[in-house]
Structure formats: structure tokens, C-alpha cells
Structure 1
Amino acid sequence: MAKRRKMNYASPSTNKIPVIFSIAVILIGLLVVMSSLKKFTHTPDQGAIEENVQMKNEEFINRLVPVAKELHQAHGILPSIIIGQAILESDWGSSELSAKYNNLFGIKSFSPNDDSIKLKTKEFKDGKWIEINANFKVYASWEDCMRDHTLLFVNGVDWDPYLYQGVLLASDYKTAANALQAAGYATDPDYASKIISVIEKNELYQYDK
């Protein structure tokens, strides 16, 4: 009688070992690849980001200083007020109104002869902030806008040519900022304190000398 040949069957646990080993090798390979990619991916740290923002802010100020000084000599308005308002109103020249239409100060248009654009804006009315549509002047450059802004203070408005005399005659930025708010340049009840804060934080008063 022929002997039956004995068959060897691997146990289930033995079959799993190569599979587990293969998975482990793949995972290790992925970790090595991801680690290598990190070396080529540069993520700027917070310090670098802040330094870049500071440089852009300084460039913004440096661009406005020459014209601000020119307007101070011609009309008496303090450079710190001009630059401080520009920073506050335009968010360092990054707002849509300033970046696209060169309007640094949120100057509204009330004449059909003006080159203007209608945009949404917020105003403080009856104790709360509301959103409205308003016409704003469009300028060829920031410098043109700065000159028109100063002429607004010099010439006033149709109903009161002396509305902004307090701003022009002020000998310091705090007095000028409060005169701006008193004249109703903006509806924000904290407008003067915000301008003063911007001026002091960025030491803009140095340009008034």
C-alpha cells in the first residue's frame, strides 16, 4: 500500500508575518519621504512674517512723508495727522478704496463731475454701526489724494468754509485729532483716540518737527 505523502500547511499566523513586514516597510518608506520633503518646504516663522509686515509699513510711511512735509509747509497741517489718517483709513494702503482707487482717506464724492466709485462702507449712527453705499472720489495717485485731502481742510465745505480750521491751526497732533472729530470728519466716536494711537505707536510725531 502506497504511503500517503504528508502535506505541510503553514499556520495562519505564519502567513501574516510577510504581510505585516511589507506594511511596516511601506510606512517607514513614507516617513522617510515626508521627512525629506520637509527639508525642501520653507515655512516662515512668526518673527519673519512680522518683520516683513514692518518693512511694508515703513515703506508706506516713507512714501507719504515727502508730500506730507510739503503740505505742512504750504498749509500748516501736521504731517503726523496726514500720515496717521492715511494709515487708519486705508489700513496701510491695503483697502480696496486705496489700493484700486488711490483714495487714502475715505474721501466721499458729492459732485457729479467727480471721478468716483460707489462702495459699501460702515458708519456709526444712532448708537450702532450700519453698512451703507456711498460714492468715493477716485484719484490718479496717492499723492494727488493727499493734496486734495489737505485742500478740504483749507477750503472747508460748502456750508462751512472754516469747518477744519481747528485742524490747520493745531500745534500738536492730539489737538488736531480732536479737532478732526469735532468737525465730524468721521462718524466713529473713537476716531480721535484711534488716530492718536496710530501716531504714537508709529512715532509719526517725529515728522512734525
Structure 2
Amino acid sequence: MSWSAASSLGGKYWALKNLQWTSTYPLFVLLFVSFQAFAQTPAEEKALKIAYVKKFSWLAIEEMKRTGIPASIKLAQAIVESHSGISSLATEANNHFGLKCGKDWMGQAIYKYDDDRDANGVLVESCFQAYSTIRQSYMSHSAHLSNPAKMDRYGYLFALDILDYRAWAEGLQKGGYSTNPIYANILIQTIEDLGLKELDLRVLRETGYIRP
């Protein structure tokens, strides 16, 4: 049953009442709720992104100075992964980068349906990292990209020109950060639409790498 069909036959109540209970039901509900939560006009979406940048750019700048990850890339990823800070992962677990637990995670966790399935192909809840503060999420993202165990996926990024956000975005997609086939393009568009490269230039000026 398509979303448009459900809408034309009575909206939300009809779609939920007539949906058979199958292994895909949790995914339907997740997509349904996500659609409702993130359905915004272009102007509203842009306003949310701008507000997010104003609120959290200092964290991206702080992490760029500490780790060398471009602030533009970090903010773009946070905006995309957290839907500008309003996703359930962001609001309930301070997870702004969609990071899952992984086998070595020893911190707090939250379980949500995503894309993980058991041996029988049944959708199961995924374990996501949870944090006490948003700052911890930003730091965990840095640790994820610079993890020696992930050197083959992300290690070469740190040898790139720190102002080459396009190469960073393409590298993140190539490294498998997201399964979205146009992930790099989404990051690049976000950076350019919001002028996030200026944050990278600001850091380089403040640290003396380039002249004011």
C-alpha cells in the first residue's frame, strides 16, 4: 500500500487501522511518524538549519581545532543526521550523528528501529549511542572518524586539504558512513546553502594557518 493511497482513502487513521501486523509494521510506523515529524515547508526547513548552525557552530569549531575535522563537514552531518536537531535520536539521546553502538561501545544506549534485521530477515531494533550532553555526541563523532580501527575507511580524510569539504563529503560516503547513494551531494549542498565553509576559514584564521 502506497503512502498516497493511504492518504487518499482516509489519512492516518485508515492507514494504521487497515495495515496488517507483519514484520514490517515497526518500519511503517517509524516512517509514518518520521514523515509527520519532519514534514516542513522549504522555508521552515531552512530556518531550522540556520537556527541549528547558530546554536551549535561553536561545538563544530571546537572539534575542528581539537581534531582537524572541518567544522563545515561536522555541522552538515549533524544537520542531516539529526534533522536539524529534532529527530528522536537527537531529542531523546543527544545523538546528533546517527551513530550506532557497535561491538566496543560501553556507554549509554537507546534502541530504535532502523535497518537492522535478524537471521530471518525480520526487522529488529538497532542499538544507538546515547549521551548525557550534545557535546559528547560531537566528541564521539570525532572519535568515530579518527578511530584507528576505522583507518581503512576514514583515515585518509585527515590527509586531505582541510578546506576541501567536497573531498571530505565524498570520502564519508565512500567510507560507508551512510547507505544513502547521494549522501555526499546532500552534505555538499547543505554546506553551500548555509555558507558553512566560512566556519573552516574562521578556524584557520584564528589558529594562524591563513592570514585574516
Taking structure 2 as the reference length, what is the TM-score of the superposition?
0.65
Pairing 1:185–2:139 present: no
Which residue of 2 is the match for residue 46 of structure 1? none
Question: In the TM superposition, what is the alpha-carbon distance from 1:73 to its structure 2 partner?
Answer: 1.5
- CA-to-aligned-CA distance 1:30-72 (integer Å, 9 cap, x gap): xxxxxxxxxxxxxxxxxxx877665543231122211211111
- Number of residue pairs matched? 153
Q: Is the 8 A contact 1:155 1:162 kept in 2?
A: no
Q: Is the 8 A contact 2:50 2:194 kept in 1?
A: no
SS of 1:163's partner is helix
Distance 1:204 1:118 in 2: 32
Question: Which residues of 2 match residues 9-48 of structure 1 at below 5 A?
Answer: none
Q: Percent identity at matched positions?
A: 27
In the alignment, structure 1 segments of 5+ residues that lack a partner are 1-48, 124-129
| Residue type of the alignment partner of 1:82 | K
Distance 1:54 1:185 in 2: 24
**Structural RMSD (CA):** 2.3
**Structure 1 residues 182 and 56, CA gap change in structure 2 (3 angstroms):** closer
Q: Report the structure number with the largest CA radius of gyration.
A: 1
**Structure 1 residues 179 and 53, CA gap change in structure 2 (3 angstroms):** closer
- CA-to-aligned-CA distance 1:129-184 (integer Å, 9 cap, x gap): x9653100001111110011011112243xx4353123333321100001101111
Which residue of 1 is the match for residue 194 of structure 2? 202
Which residue of 2 is the match for residue 146 of structure 1? 138
Which residue of 2 is the match for residue 135 of structure 1? 127
Which residue of 2 is the match for residue 17 of structure 1? none
| Residue type of the alignment partner of 1:141 | T
Which residue of 2 is the match for residue 116 of structure 1? 109
Taking structure 1 as the reference length, what is the TM-score of the superposition?
0.66
Q: Is the 8 A contact 1:104 1:142 kept in 2?
A: yes
Q: Is the 8 A contact 1:153 1:168 kept in 2?
A: no
Distance 2:148 2:193 in 1: 29
Which residue of 2 is the match for residue 169 of structure 1? 159
Q: Is the 8 A contact 1:84 1:195 kept in 2?
A: yes
Question: In the TM superposition, what is the alpha-carbon distance from 1:87 to its structure 2 partner?
Answer: 0.6
| Residue type of the alignment partner of 1:198 | T
